[in-house]
Chains A and B, each alone.
Chain A
Amino acid sequence: MQPDEQALCFPCDGDWLTAVLSPIGPGALARRGVLIVVGGPQYRAGSHRQFALLARSLAAAGIPAMRFDYRGMGDSGGAPRTFEDVDLDLRTAIDRFIAAVPGMREVVLWGLCDAASAALFYAQHDRRVAGLVLANPWARTNDGLARATLKHYYLARLLQPAFWKKLASGRFDVRGSLGSLVGLVRSARGGAAPAAQERPSTAPGPGLRERMLAGWQGFRGPILLITSGADLTAQEFLDMVKASRPWQKLLADPRVQRQTLAAADHTFSRREWRDQVAGWTAAWVRSW
């Protein structure tokens, strides 16, 4: 029988943060826990409760897990802020997490989308962060988005029989699609920004990719990189890696393990995908 989850509330520079802790069984000890960092327009339960279910799954596997809302999100107080400005929130949450679990000494940060990027920025500055799980990291620039869309979405669609069937049956919006294709080509060549965005987040500040690279280079612990095959954010990240020697070198390092879910979308929106991600995470956290 799993112990009940605990609701926590703690201050962060004058605002109150809300968190839920999934503890492990009584008498069990864990040196390492997982702090789930929430990315995108979500709060701590996650899209389709992904983070609530992930935390429960980890706790059942003997790994304490905590998830929380940073300032301005979900139930936490304060003004909204972007993923590029959550270092203090992360530090405060790690403090509270470690205080709540006797015997726990270190944490793995688990982040999806821009939370993966936020985890990369933070990790090297806190010795208690032992490892990182980065799922579909957010490395967006408008230019990169256009390239990823062209390459992965349009080309893939042209190869699908269903696309041609739809076209023949008149159900395909030719004008709209061609219009966005033209915009993308322009943008990929360095012209105007595309109007359509897959998941428009806060505009990336200058040097997002450089900061991510510096964060990865500065962090010494193991990293698990999980990417979805049917996700432009992941494809954009991988395109960036392919086009960059320093990134390729980092990903080739033996401390980096990679897993890919070919059919999955950005948020792993099926039970089998969620379970696979939770299984990989638990096995990896216990493997070192």
Chain B
Amino acid sequence: MHAAAPPPQPFFLDTGAAARFCLYHAPLGACRGAWLFLHPFAEEMNKARRMVALQARALAQRGFAVLQIDLHGCGDSAGDFADATWESWLDDVACGAAWLRERSGHPAALWGMRLGALLALDHIRQGNAPAALLLWQPVLNGSQALTQFLRLKVASQMLTEGGDSGGTAALRQALAAGQPLEIAGYTLAPALALALDQLDASKLPPPACPIHWFELVADAARPMPPAAARVAEAWRQQGANVRTQAIAGPQFWATQEIAECPALLDATLAALTGTVHAA
């Protein structure tokens, strides 16, 4: 029986409208590095919660400090989803990174999943330099992600109202006219939608830190998805230190039931405890 890490410590960073729910996983033994987790968008965050908890605990067990932060209007944090802006999320990243650095004594590395990965990249674009970057199935194109989210609304309109309402184009027009949309229970504010629409990882300069990039694929014989491979290759040509890995497993952020992917947990742990991210 080996020693166990201390229990995760839930707390609220700041108070009132600025309160952000955080879960801190203290490292077992001497701290070898610190990771700030940035969660996916809307319901994907809920479905991924278990996998993220498992990975965070495994990292803490191996000596890493891990902080999960719920962004403005998400999860247990203050505010309504409709109040959230891309800027308030970027502020949250900065606050979380500062807290983690102070608490752990290590500069924060960023672990972003899905849209959280794009948020991490945009945070870096603003001139921040994390110690390392861990990407789990990153959303690379905000506009495409927005279209996929809008399709949920189109589908629900077809089922309940039966009509063809003009598809995602009509919904984009409504947003552009300043109309919030309620989609799958989340109220999407026009400002957030417009910010998402303009994000494109392929147009961002590659991060200067070591990058660990994981994609989940249907079976082990499959390569990285082409869009991901293209961006990673472009970054490499610009001198970035990128390690990509395709892992066979379920798309646990989108499955109906809560799914686990032990292969991703193991591969991530192996990558981060290896030589690339020596603290």
Interface residues of A (CB under 8 A from B): 1, 4-9, 11, 16, 18, 20, 41-50, 52-53, 72-77, 80, 160-163, 165-166, 199-201, 230, 267, 269-271, 274
A9 CA to B25 CA in the complex, in Å? Answer: 12
Q: How far is the CB of A116 from chain B (nearest CB, A)?
A: 18
Instruction: Verify B10–A48 contact, CB threshold 8 A.
Output: no
Instruction: Verify A20–B46 contact, CB threshold 8 A.
Output: no
Write out the residue numbers on chain A whose beta carbons fall within 8 Å of the beta carbon of B8.
9, 16, 18, 75, 77
Write out the residue numbers on chain B whose beta carbons fall within 8 Å of the beta carbon of A77.
7-8, 53, 57
Write out the residue numbers on chain A whose beta carbons fall within 8 Å of the beta carbon of B257.
41, 200-201
Instruction: Verify A165–B47 contact, CB threshold 8 A.
Output: no
Q: A9-B9, A48-B43 are in contact. List 14 more A-B contacts (CB 8 A).
A: A4-B15, A4-B19, A18-B23, A41-B257, A41-B258, A42-B46, A48-B42, A72-B50, A73-B50, A74-B49, A77-B8, A200-B257, A201-B257, A267-B185
Instruction: Verify A162–B162 contact, CB threshold 8 A.
Output: yes
Instruction: Verify A162–B163 contact, CB threshold 8 A.
Output: yes
Instruction: Verify A45–B10 contact, CB threshold 8 A.
Output: no
Instruction: Verify B162–A163 contact, CB threshold 8 A.
Output: yes
Tell me which of A4, A43, A72, A161 contacts B46 (CB under 8 A).
Answer: A43
Instruction: Verify A5–B12 contact, CB threshold 8 A.
Output: yes
Write out the residue numbers on chain B whose beta carbons fall within 8 Å of the beta carbon of A5.
12, 19, 76
For residue A272, which residue of chain B has the nearest CB?
B182
Q: How far is the CB of B208 from chain A (nearest CB, A)?
A: 33
Q: Could you name 28 residue pairs across A and B whose Cβ atoms are closer than 8 Å? A: A4-B12, A5-B12, A6-B12, A7-B11, A16-B8, A44-B76, A47-B46, A48-B81, A48-B185, A49-B74, A49-B81, A52-B75, A53-B80, A72-B50, A73-B50, A74-B49, A75-B10, A75-B23, A75-B49, A75-B68, A77-B7, A80-B50, A80-B258, A161-B162, A166-B162, A200-B256, A230-B160, A271-B187
Write out the residue numbers on chain B whose beta carbons fall within 8 Å of the beta carbon of A160.
162
Tell me which of B53, B74, B160 contacts A74 (CB under 8 A).
Answer: B53
Instruction: Verify A73–B43 contact, CB threshold 8 A.
Output: no
Q: How far is the CB of A81 from chain B (nearest CB, A)?
A: 12
Count residues of B near A (Cβ-Cβ below 8 Å).
37
Tell me which of A41, A49, A271 contacts B47 (CB under 8 A).
Answer: A41
Is B184 on the interface with A (CB-CB < 8 A)? yes
Instruction: Verify A20–B21 contact, CB threshold 8 A.
Output: yes
Tell me which of B7, B74, B80, B256 contacts A41 (CB under 8 A).
Answer: B256
Instruction: Verify A269–B184 contact, CB threshold 8 A.
Output: yes
Contact (A162, B256) CB under 8 Å given A43-B46, A47-B185, A73-B50: no
Write out the residue numbers on chain A whose beta carbons fall within 8 Å of the beta carbon of B185.
47-50, 267, 269-270, 274
Q: How far is the CB of B1 from chain A (nearest CB, A)?
A: 12
Instruction: Verify B21–A74 contact, CB threshold 8 A.
Output: no
Contact (A75, B12) CB under 8 Å given A52-B75, A166-B162, A269-B185: no
A8 CA to B23 CA in the complex, in Å? Answer: 11
A52 CA to B79 CA in the complex, in Å? Answer: 10
